[in-house]
Structure 1
Amino acid sequence: MDYSKTAAGVLQGVGGEENVRSLVHCATRLRFVLKDEAKADSAAVKAVPGVVTVAQAGGQYQVVIGNDVPDVFAEIGKISNFGGSADGAADDAPKGNLFNRFISMISSIFTPVLWALAGTGLLKAFLAAAVTFGWIATDNSTYAVLNALSDAFINFLPIALSITAARYFKANEWTSLAIAGALVYPTMAGLVGQPDLTFFGIPFTMVSYVSSVIPIIVVVWLQSHAEKFLYAKLPGAVRRFVTPMLVVLVAVPLVFVVIGPISDLLGGALGNGIGWVFENAPWAGGAIMGGFWQVFVIFGLHWGLVPLFTLEFQTTGQISLVGPVFAAVLAQAAAVAGVWVRARNKNLKSLAAPATLSGFLAGITEPAIYGINLPLKRPFAFGIVGGVIGGAIIALGGVFSTAFVVPSGLALPALLGNGNMLMLALGLAVAIAVPFLLTVIIGFVEPTEDAAPAPAAAATDLVVYSPLDGTVVALSETPDAAFAAGALGDGVAIQPRSGALYAPFDATIAAAFPTGHAIGLRHADGAEVLIHIGIDTVKLGGTHFDVKVTTGQEVKAGDLLVEFDADAIAAAGYDLTTPIVVTNGELYPALADVQTGPVAHGEPLFTAVSIESAPVSA
């Protein structure tokens, strides 16, 4: 994957930097909160090399990348500048229903801490396994050090969440940190369970805030509103230090007296409710978690369950919900392994191999689900069947985790010694064997080798004829940073003088966007060319464009592809400079005979030099 091209393509497809309110990433997805999702071109985003698919759920526009998502995220950071002043930023928040806004909030707050939480949880799991097998004693300093470094993060989770919650709610991070520090301050922790506690005569009950989630999120939300009020009312000379003083003075006692006890009651009730289900009908809880977890993942709704894991841990010191999720994850990995074994399509096998390893070892199943199992339908269904049965068996065995981990093969030590290990082994075996065997024996409708044409092994030079009447300008003069930098490929740009776009060579229409603003073409020898009519014209939503072709259609050089009203587009304030770029530069690394100045459609524009002849040309 060319991370820079993927980053530039995704950013352009979501409507550009100006349409992005915030961006974070999780294990496999770029999670955008967009100001206007209607401005995003999902077809264009899906067509970007390296993008698996797009999901819109939970108030987020989620671009699924796979294991390489951190690299793409880093490249987006190089070509954009998200953020700016926090004042008024909350006005751009999504205005969807409460459920979507809740999911968006949870994912935004938990995503930045997830990997530290999972990594230290995995260390704790390995340490617990080492103690179980007698590899390390608990009464020495080595154990004390390892226990501290693996246990500290989840114990002081409110401190971490105070930072991410402050960023989400646009509150002062350091004031939030001061509040969280007071919640887990050793002296306060020592008051837990003590009778007759009062604050200026107001009685209260001290509860434990170790590993807590709800109190800090609620109080930081209140803090954000209090700060706005105080900043507006206090004199400029004193508000910068008086505001945090007043906020802390009010917020911390408010948590101790009101928020903490209420959240403790709610969290306890929820934790007890989960415990009741897994005690009285464990097969049902296990089947639901094992069967539907991956469905939740598809819609990004699994984030709504993350707080339940931490609440259950805070209440009971263990997480019963996690065990069946191991079955769900490994079942989908097993299904894609079945595809790997049975498939005859070389492209499908090459996709299934890394997706299998990623699923089994790291618990990253999005590449398997979106790239293979879901499109093939049956493997995904077989994975759900395996997850239901395996999850039910694991829950019947009373299996639980004593650490927050991302379910995967590497994280299995988190379950060792916790519950019936025979039932765990049986549940995992069934979760893996059932979807694997069903996929291999029953099979699936396999795409033919030519369903997704691959570039020819021996690419040849291609003469690209001008698709427009106009004036040729250097690509670097394009008023779009991604195109100008060549992030989407090498080529030229044309400033059109008419409103008709013609095929620049004999081709298959690889992508005909319904908005009409862009056309992707593929030559029989493998060259891929993108023509983008104007800058940011996707925002017109197809107005002033009339597309004459459809995706998959064969066209000849000179065939009319799109008609557009150049005058109306210009009057709407859009620049009509049209980039024409070769998007698979790995096969066509150079251009030759590049035209300059005025050009008519049908005249040679440039030659895309193939990798076969580029060394000779050099």
Structure 2
Amino acid sequence: MDYSKTAAAVLQGVGGEKNVSSLVHCATRLRFVIKDNALVDTAAVKAAPGVIATAEAGGQYQVVIGNEVPEVFAEIARISNLAGPASNENSASDGPKGNLLNRFIAMISAIFTPLLWALAGTGLLKAFLAAAVTFGWLDNTTSTFLILNALSDAFINFLPLALAITAAKYFNAAQFTSLAIAGALVYPSMVDLNGVPDLTFFGIPVTMVSYVSSVIPIIVIVWLQSHAERFLYAKLPAAIRRFVTPMLLVLILVPLTFLVIGPVSNLISGGLAGGIGWIFNVVPWLGGAIMGGLWQVFVIFGLHWGFVPLMTAELQTSGYIYLIAPLFAAVLAQAAAVTGVWVRTKDENLKSLAAPAALSGFLAGVTEPAIYGVNLPLKRPFVFGVVGGVLGGGLISAGGLAGNAFVLPSGLGIPALLGTGNLVLLFIGLAVAIIVPFLLTVIVGFKDPVVATAALALGTDLQVLSPLDGTAVPLTEVADAVFAAGTLGRGVAILPRVGAVYAPFDAEVVAAFPTGHAIGLRHADGAEALIHIGIDTVKLGGKHFSLKVEKGQRVVAGDLLVEFDISAITAAGYDVTTPVIITNPRKYPTIGSPASGPVAHGDPLFLAVAEELTLA
């Protein structure tokens, strides 16, 4: 790929620099936020050399490049004022981002994505801890339990602090000022004031609510902070603005949160809780369906905390919590949906996120990793989870089920529902809540990050010829764990008897290391091969190697690429076994007919078998 040509063509295709609000990149894609979609010429973008596909998602215009996206990104930075150091993947933009739902999802995803692995990891720890207590392996009155519980609970307990950082990045606010504001919300003495009557601030009545684990208040306040900072920086003298601005923001915004934002959020939560509680008492199945369907929506907005006092009061007066029973359906339904994503997706990164998110949801009832990292960005799985929650929650509440303790709805918490109501309807409701979203996700599907952008035939099988005279051996016999495990790609190794490397197929030289120890080639159909002469021979610094080609040069099968001195390299203590591998296994996942024993250059070495992806 000629990066300069690709960068220029893509930038022109999206309407030029003036039509781009922001640009970032991920592992394979350029992600543009476009000002005017009418100025984008998608056909021209797709025609740019090296562009695989385009996609529009989450308010972004995405250009799929592949592994060389960092080079194209850097080239765009060189020829424009885009993609500079100020750009980051969590920045808001003034440009349009589609409808309100897309804009909301993009914001939530950007703010929560950096937290996902910590949420998933601590969620799993909490699941294992709950299992240990449930099965009697650990006494929850011991100091060991207290320490482990702190490890598993601390991150989500102080979630506003983490959100302050990511929200500040998204809204382009000062991160440590945001952190100072969030710290005030969860400061121990402030937490202790929750529920204390007759509080005032300079004579103004204050209704203190809990901000522990809250979401919406800190996001709102950081958004206000970002606007207030720009105003203050523009108005205050340069000599004092850097310390006066954070002082004023903390002094104004924290009391504003205590006086207005927190109480309003709590009022909304309380109103919703009271209304749904009334419905729940009059028509139990309807109350269960509403709670089962909307619980995870409430979680997104942080409104679920309004139900906690209601549940506590219900437990104190009756000894049972009827509102909590359908929440098991809501939680397990989202866990089932993310499990369906794990089963169906072809994207390895998505699989690696969906698996722990599913375990965290099923075992511990911690659904944030599933919701923010997988289901909500993909949209359909989240909706399927809501459907499962409605059906399962309705059935559970129709059976008169209730919790005999205040527990986190999860697979491990199910024993809290035993002993009340119709147990047959309980297990039917739980089964429906799990099976329905799982099947909908697997069968109906969603826009898979791999499948949706792989609207291309992945090439035809490619016969790779031996680039060396020598003896072919399985790659597993190479004395290097990375090559032997196939981490870099699949192929065959050759123990050379002649120090000359020839092109194994018609190709472009995409990597010609100055040390001469390795050559990267790309076939016109997209197959990418690496010929690595010896193990750790890069340490020779080019000594005993003579490179005959340069990067960008086109070669045909049989052209001389490198000459090297086998005797000298061996005498220097290096193994000359040479792996010949295909480095894009997603496109060529299988190696067929591998050669074994003596081979000469030009002999068939192995067949790189292509696989076609079809849109689901």
Q: TM-score, normalised by structure 2?
A: 0.54
C-alpha separation between the residues in 2 aligned to 1:105 and 1:352?
22
Change (3 A) 1:416 1:11: farther
Instruction: Tell me the SS of whatever aligns to 1:135.
Output: coil
SS across alignment from 1:194: coil
Residue 209 of structure 1 aligns with an amino acid whose one-letter code is: Y
User: Which of these residues, 204, 210, 234, is aligned with residue 202 of structure 1?
Assistant: 204
From 325, 346, 370, the counterpart of 2:334 = 325
| Separation (CA, whole Å) in 1 of partners of 2:387 and 2:264 | 35
Distance 2:126 2:68 in 1: 30
Q: Which amino acid aligns with 1:323?
A: L
Deviation at 1:227, TM superposition (A): 1.2
**8 A Cα contact 1:125 1:413, kept in partner:** no
Secondary structure class of the residue paired with 1:56: strand
Partner of 1:151: 153
Please report how far the alpha carbon of residue 391 of structure 1 lies from its aligned counterpart in structure 2 after TM superposition: 6.5
Cα distance in 2 for partners of 1:136, 1:63 equals 52
**Is the alpha carbon distance of 1:454 and 1:202 closer, same or farther for their aligned partners in structure 2, counting shifts above 3 Å?**
same
Map residues 107-186 of structure 1 onto 2, 5 A cutoff.
107-186=109-188
- Structure 2 residue 391 is the aligned partner of structure 1 residue 392: yes
Distance in 2 of aligned mates of 1:185 and 1:391: 37
Which amino acid counterpart does residue 281 of structure 1 have in structure 2? Answer: L
Cα distance change on mapping 1:187 and 1:94 into 2, 3 Å: same
In 2, the alpha carbon distance for the partners of 1:314 and 1:59 equals 32
Aligned pair in 2 of structure 1 residues 395, 355: CA closer, same or farther (>3 Å)? farther
Q: Structure 1's 584 and 63: CA in aligned 2 closer, same or farther, altered over 3 A? A: closer
**Residue 616 (1) aligns with residue 616 (2):** no
Q: Cα distance, 1:209 vs. partner?
A: 0.8
Deviations 1:195-232 (A, max 9, x none): 11111111111111111112111111111111111111
Alpha carbons of structure 1 residues 357 and 248: separation in structure 2 relative to 1, 3 Å = closer
Once residues 44 and 360 of structure 1 are traced to their aligned partners in structure 2, the CA distance between those partners, rounded to angstroms, is 35
Of 607, 611, 618, the match for 2:556: 607
Higher RCO (CA < 8 A, seq sep 6+): 1
The 2-side partners of 1:72 and 1:419 are apart by 53
C-alpha distance in 2 between matches for 1:264 and 1:587: 59
Distance 2:255 2:108 in 1: 25
Alignment of 1:355-370 (within 5 A): 363=358
Shift of 1:453: 6.8
> Match for residue 482 of structure 2?
none
Q: Which structure: larger Rg?
A: 2
1:30-109 alignment to 2 at 5 Å? Answer: 32=31, 34-36=33-35, 39=40, 41=42, 56-61=56-61, 82=83, 84-85=85-86, 92-94=94-96, 96-109=98-111
Task: Mark the CA change 1:453 to 1:102 in structure 2 (over 3 Å): closer, same or farther.
Answer: closer
* Correspondence 1:550-565 to 2 at 5 A: none
Quick check: 1:307 aligned with 2:307?
no
1:538-594, CA deviations, whole angstroms, 9 ceiling, x for partnerless residues? Answer: xxxxxxxxxxxxxxxxxxxxxxxxxxxxxxxxxxxxxxxxxx97463435869x998
- Which residue of structure 1 lines up, in the alignment, with residue 570 of structure 2? none
TM alignment of 1:170-569, pairs within 5 A: 170-270=172-272, 280-281=285-286, 284-285=289-290, 307-308=300-301, 310-313=302-305, 315-316=307-308, 321-331=330-340, 336=344, 363=358, 392-393=391-392, 396-397=395-396, 413=411, 416-417=414-415, 419=417, 422-423=427-428, 426-427=431-432, 430-431=435-436, 455-456=460-461, 458-459=463-464
Counterpart contact for 2:184–2:254, Cα < 8 Å: yes
The percent of aligned pairs where both chains have the same amino acid is 41
Equivalent pair of 2:184/2:190 in contact (CA under 8 Å): yes
- Secondary structure at the counterpart of residue 198 of structure 1: strand
Deviation string 1:512-534 (CA, Å, 9 cap, x unpaired) is: xxxxxxxxxxxxx997989xxxx
Whole-Å separation in 2 of the counterparts to 1:312 and 1:325: 16
1:207 aligned counterpart, secondary structure: coil
Letter in 2 for 1:607: V
Deviations 1:348-399 (A, max 9, x none): xxx6999999867765999xx99xxx9xxxxx99x99999568623663369
Alpha-carbon deviation of 1:251?
0.8
In structure 2, how many angstroms separate the alpha carbons of the residues matched to 1:332 and 1:172? 36
Matched positions, count: 435
Which of 563, 580, 584 in structure 1 is aligned with 2:526? 584
Q: Which amino acid aligns with 2:216?
A: I
Alpha-carbon contact 1:24-1:111 (below 8 Å) kept? no
* 2:337–2:438 Cα contact (<8 Å) kept: no
Query: What RMSD over aligned residues (CA atoms) do the two structures have, in Å?
Result: 6.1
SS at match of 1:281: helix
The aligned amino acid for 2:432 is: G
Q: State whether residues 112 and 164 of structure 1, in contact with CA within 8 Å, keep that contact through their aligned partners in structure 2.
A: yes
Whether the aligned pair in 1 keeps the contact of 2:333 and 2:386 (CA below 8 Å) is: yes
Per-residue CA deviation, residues 136-162 of structure 1 (Å, 9 max, x unaligned), is 111111111111111111111111111
How far apart are residue 180 of structure 1 and its match? 0.7
Residue in 2 aligned with 1:21? Answer: 22
8 Å contact 1:35–1:92 — kept in the other structure?
Answer: no
Q: 1:40 to 1:182 in 2, by over 3 A?
A: farther
CA distance in 2, matches of 1:595, 1:289: 61
Tell me if the contact between 2:198 and 2:205 (Cα under 8 Å) persists in the aligned partners.
yes
Q: Take 1:225 and 1:283, find their aligned partners in 2: how far apart are those partners?
A: 41
CA distance in 1, matches of 2:438, 2:93: 50
Distance 1:285 1:61, change over 3 A: farther
**What one-letter code is carried by the residue in structure 1 that aligns with 2:526?**
N
SS in 2 for 1:616: coil
CA distance in structure 1 between the partners assigned to 2:205 and 2:385 by the alignment: 52
Note the residue ranges of structure 2 that are not aligned, 5 or more in a row.
Answer: 78-82, 312-323, 359-368, 419-425, 445-455, 467-503, 510-521, 533-546, 560-579, 581-593, 604-616
Separation (CA, whole Å) in 1 of partners of 2:349 and 2:163: 34
Distance 1:63 1:272 in 2: 48
Aligned counterparts of 1:386 and 1:243: Cα–Cα separation in 2: 44
Q: Does the residue aligned with 1:210 lie in a helix, a strand or coil?
A: coil
What is the letter of the counterpart of residue 326 of structure 1?
Answer: A
